[in-house]
Amino acid sequence: MEPPLPTWPASGVLDWELSHLDDLAADFAWSWRGRYTDVIHGYQQVTRLDEHDLALIEPTWRAWTLNVAAEIVQNTPSGEIPDLSWLIGMLERKPEPF
């Protein structure tokens, strides 16, 4: 059974670059961002993840965060030190269990 469509007019910009049709844990991880556990619960009402996919959310998110850090460092001009404090803060989060 398909979930009901919204009854209100919806508009906005959707960024599909990070969506994964074959890897639901990746979609959940990007929306979760290490702290929005209610987002996971909301997604679970529409698309259930099994225990293996749930276990992949946090490591997937952490890997993406480290990838962002690597890209920042790679694109920083030689001799400059990038400010990664906001990324370090994200990685230091102690997420709630799902």
> 7-59: per-residue pLDDT in tens?
655 555 555 555 555 677 887 787 787 888 888 888 888 888 888 888 888 89
Count of domains observed in the chain: 1
Q: Give yes or no for residue 96 having a pLDDT over 90.
A: no
Host domain of residue 61:
24-91
| Residue 45, in any domain of the structure | yes
Q: What's the rounded Cα separation, in Å, for the pair 10 and 56?
A: 31
| Residue 70, in any domain of the structure | yes
| Residue 44, in any domain of the structure | yes
| Residue 14, in any domain of the structure | no
pLDDT at 90: 85
| Residue 96, in any domain of the structure | no
| Residue 16, in any domain of the structure | no
pLDDT at 75: 95
Q: Between helices 51-75 and 24-32, what is the axis angle to 10°?
A: 60
pTM: 0.67
| Residue 9, in any domain of the structure | no
Are 57 and 28 in contact by the 8 Å Cβ rule? The answer is: yes
| Residue 51, in any domain of the structure | yes
Task: Encode 51-83 in three state secondary structure.
Answer: HHHHHHHHHHHHHHHHHHHHHHHHHCCCCCCCC
Q: Give yes or no for residue 4 having a pLDDT over 80.
A: no
> 50-90: per-residue pLDDT in tens?
888 888 888 988 898 999 999 999 999 999 999 999 889 88
